[in-house]
């Protein structure tokens, strides 16, 4: 396993982090429930392979993730692993935030949390009094030794992520970055310039982002790599990425990702150039459908047109239909993918009047509903 310096924290963490959001489940009394015993085994398999960074959150795995991670960290594992969890934004205010922290400490069976994230921090919400009280609580908890480093995770724009970095409050950050979405590449470099350690989420979408896609495998035609391996190697080649956080739900996935994260050179400069060139060509193809300019918004019916068309691009160009459908299904269910699905279109046509490409948006929304809502 490779290890990388984690900003100015003085720690080195494994190039692969264990995201504890897709732990194993089993059928019990006719229902699917999370399997604590198998979850502990899986986490410890990762730890034994050299993973020393694990990330959880209060609501992961039907609110059982922290509990399972806490069990996995018994028997001497806690001293070997850096532990990360999060403070939900809906726990606004000092008292609620403090209770949430104390509950996380109990769930995780630990006296302190190494990296405590403001979960899904956005610049607009950062000015709210409830969030300011969260920060005050976290800073006091840090003085008391209950948390060691204050961090944030974010799905905000790169410009707003830079503003969060510039507050000077945070030592590490967690954001999305992968070979299909490099939006945060400059923000990641900026964070490192300012001394923050950077962990990226979604490097392979829990294995689904790159599996299986002949289009992605063709990025390196001279080698035989799986799509998830190419996706993981792409992320780890970025020198500003300290750790790629992957949600892993099977022993095979842990073993495969750990093997990739143990290679000295994830991608050679020539391979990286080839991948970047292929991605650029594919993005030119994407523009035939939608450039993502957002001029079509806001939609009177609340349809999230840009996100829907981005998922359609993944489906049409990269042939990662399963991933596209899973992401599409989350529209309107989580804060960072707001709005409504394509089927909510009332065909008013206002979007087409505003589109600089003169796309037949209504027709493409019908196609999107047919392709992604199955």
Whether 222 has a pLDDT exceeding 70, the answer reads no
pLDDT in tens, 20-34: 999 999 999 889 999
pLDDT in tens, 88-109: 988 889 999 999 999 999 999 9
Mean pLDDT of the chain: 89
Q: What is the set of domains in the chain, with CATH numbers?
A: 3-269 (3.20.20.100), 287-372 (no CATH)
- pTM for the model stands at 0.80
Please give the Cα distance from 89 to 17 (Å, whole number).
23
State what percent of residues in the chain have pLDDT above 90: 65
Per-residue pLDDT band for 276 (boundaries 50, 70, 90) equals confident
SS3 per-residue string spanning the chain? CCEEECCCCCCEEECEEEECCCCCEEEECCEEEECHHHHHHHHHHHHHCCCCEEECCCCHHHHCHHHHHHHHCCCCCHHHCEEEEEECCCCCCHHHHHHHHHHHHHHHCCCCEEEEEECCCCHHHHCCHHHHHHHHHHHHHHHCCCEEEEEEEECCCHHHHHHHHHCCCCCEEEEECECCECCCHHHHHHHHHCCCEEEEECCCHHHCCCCCCHHHHCCCCCCCCCHHHHHHHHHHHCCCCCEEEEECCCHHHHHHHHHHCCCCCCCCHHHHHHHHHHHHHHHHHHCCCCCCCCCCCCCCCCECHHHHHHHHHHHHHHCCHHHHHHHHHCCCCECCECCECHHHCCCCCHHHHHCCCCCCHHHHHHHHHHHHCC
Whether 286 has a pLDDT exceeding 70, the answer reads no
Question: Which region, left, alpha or beta, applies to residue 284 given φ > 0 means left and ψ of -120 to 50 means alpha?
Answer: alpha
Q: Report residue 149 as tokens.
A: 């480093």
pLDDT in tens, 178-212: 877 888 999 999 999 999 999 999 887 544 455 45
């Amino acid at each position: 396993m490779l290890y990388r310096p984690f900003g100015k924290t003085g720690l080195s963490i494994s190039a692969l982090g264990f995201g504890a959001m897709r732990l194993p489940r089993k059928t019990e009394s006719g229902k699917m429930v999370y399997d604590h015993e198998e979850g502990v085994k899986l986490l410890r398999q990762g730890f034994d392979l050299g993973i020393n960074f694990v990330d959880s959150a209060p609501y992961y795995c039907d609110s059982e993730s922290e509990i399972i991670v806490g069990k996995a960290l018994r028997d001497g594992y806690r001293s070997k692993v850096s532990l990360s969890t999060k403070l939900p934004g809906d726990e606004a205010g000092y008292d609620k935030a403090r209770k949430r922290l104390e509950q996380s400490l109990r769930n995780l069976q630990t006296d302190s949390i190494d990296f405590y994230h403001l979960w899904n921090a956005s610049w607009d919400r950062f000015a709210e009094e409830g969030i300011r009280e969260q920060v005050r609580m976290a800073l006091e908890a840090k003085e008391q030794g209950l948390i060691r480093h204050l961090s944030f995770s974010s799905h905000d724009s790169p410009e707003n992520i830079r503003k969060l970095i510039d507050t000077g409050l945070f030592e590490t950050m967690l954001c999305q970055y992968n070979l299909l979405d490099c939006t945060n590449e400059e923000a990641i470099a900026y964070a490192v310039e300012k001394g923050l350690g950077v962990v990226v989420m979604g490097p392979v979408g829990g294995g689904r982002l790159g599996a299986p896609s002949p289009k992605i495998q063709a990025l390196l035609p001279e080698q035989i790599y799986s799509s998830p391996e190419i996706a993981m190697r792409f992320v780890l080649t970025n020198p500003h990425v300290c750790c790629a956080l992957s949600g892993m739900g099977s022993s095979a996935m842990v073993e495969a990702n750990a093997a990739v994260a143990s290679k000295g050179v994830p991608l050679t400069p020539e391979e990286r150039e080839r991948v970047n060139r292929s991605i650029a060509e594919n993005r030119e193809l994407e523009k035939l459908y939608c450039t993502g300019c957002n001029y079509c918004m806001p939609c009177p019916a609340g349809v999230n047109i840009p996100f829907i068309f981005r998922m359609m691009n993944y489906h049409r160009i990269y042939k990662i239909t399963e991933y596209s459908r899973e992401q599409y299904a989350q529209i309107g269910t989580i804060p960072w993918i707001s709005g409504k699905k394509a089927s909510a279109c009332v065909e008013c046509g206002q979007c087409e009047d505003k589109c600089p490409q003169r796309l037949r948006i209504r027709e493409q929304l019908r196609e999107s509903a047919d392709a992604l809502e199955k």
